[in-house]
């Protein structure tokens, strides 16, 4: 992928930067400049606000990949899922930090930051979002904005052992 193209896409790949219609509040990812579903879509022109998705959602469907795309050979088999985000948009992404056979429809996930691919040993490294089970993930890219706190009990050796 050309460097310039990936660089232009970093806001959405790094931070799940989408857009939200100021009129009907529909959220879009990738960002749109016009709201296509809004009854007043003509008026939405120029009123689409930048909006960061929280990265939280659940798996609505998935596939286990055994024949990897270039650059993913070391990770097979891995799960590629469509995730329904809590803000609405459907995102496609790899589900990591879980054995593929444990991925289920309805699995609660959160976006995590991972290496996507490398342009060979001397080329640029591309980073972006993947998904991880909510318990295993840290915080999503839009974590400060309208995200629910992780449901981790107070710190104590006992509670940690119970989760491990």
Partner 1 sequence: MSYVVSKSCDRIMQQTKAGIVSYGVYVPRYRITPAEIGRVWGVDGFAMGQGLNIERKSVPAPDEDTVTISTEALRVALVRGKIEPQEIGALYIGSESHPYAVKPTATIVAHAVGATPNLTAADYEFACKAGTAAIQTCLGLVRSEMIRYGVAIGTDTSQGAPGDALEYSASAGGAALVIGRENVIATVNHTVSYTTDTPDFWRREGQRYPSHGGRFTGEPAYFRHVSECAKSMFKAAGTTTKDYTHVVFHQPNGKFPRRIGTQLGFTDEQMKYGMVTPRIGNTYSAAALIGLANALDHAKPDERILVVGYGSGAGSDAFDLTVTDALRSYDRSVGLPVQYFLDGGVELSYAVYAKYRGKIEMGAA
Determine the interface stretch with partner 1 among 8-16, 19-27, 38-46, 84-92 (rule: CB under 8 A): 8-16
The answer to whether 71 and 38 are in contact (CB under 8 A) is no
Q: Per CB under 8 A, does 96 bind partner 1?
A: yes
- If one asks whether residue 6 binds partner 1 (CB under 8 A), the answer comes out as no
Please report, as residue ranges, which positions from 110 to 149 form the binding site for partner 1 (by CB under 8 A).
112-116, 125, 127, 130, 136, 138-141, 143-144, 147, 149
Task: Measure the CA–CA gap between 50 and 163, rounded to whole angstroms.
Answer: 37
Selection from 134, 4, 127 nearest residue 58 by Cα: 134
Quick check: 31 binds partner 1 (CB under 8 A)? no
List the alpha helices (DSSP H) in the chain: 3-15, 41-44, 157-163
Phi-psi region of 146 (alpha: psi -120 to 50; beta: other; left: phi over 0): left
Question: Using the 8-state DSSP alphabet, how is residue 75 labeled?
Answer: G
Of the residues 12, 15, 79, 80, which one makes contact with partner 1 according to CB under 8 A: 15
CB of 26 to partner 1, least distance (A): 23
**Is residue 154 a contact residue for partner 1 (CB under 8 A)?**
yes
Is residue 65 a contact residue for partner 1 (CB under 8 A)? no
Query: Of 16, 48, 52, which is closest to residue 35 (Cα–Cα)?
Result: 48
| CA angle 16–20–24, rounded 5-degree value | 150
Q: Which residues bind partner 1 (CB under 8 A)?
A: 10, 14-15, 52, 74-75, 96-97, 99, 112-116, 125, 127, 130, 136, 138-141, 143-144, 147, 149-150, 152-157, 160-161, 163-164
């Amino acid at each position: 992928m050309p460097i310039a193209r990936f660089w232009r896409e970093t806001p959405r790949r790094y931070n799940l930067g989408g857009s939200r219609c100021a009129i009907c509040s529909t959220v879009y990812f990738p960002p749109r400049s016009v709201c296509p579903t809004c009854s007043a879509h003509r008026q939405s022109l120029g009123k689409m606000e930048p909006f960061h998705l929280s990265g939280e959602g659940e798996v609505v469907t998935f596939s286990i990949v055994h024949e990897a795309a270039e650059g993913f050979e070391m990770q097979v088999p891995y799960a590629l899922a469509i995730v329904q985000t809590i803000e609405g948009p459907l995102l496609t992404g790899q589900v990591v930090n879980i054995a593929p056979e444990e991925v289920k429809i309805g699995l609660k996930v959160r976006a995590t930051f991972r290496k996507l691919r490398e342009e060979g040993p001397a080329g640029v490294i591309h980073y972006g979002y993947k998904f991880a089970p909510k318990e295993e993930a840290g915080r999503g890219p839009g974590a400060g904005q309208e995200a629910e706190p992780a449901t981790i009990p107070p710190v104590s050796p006992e509670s940690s052992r119970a989760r491990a």
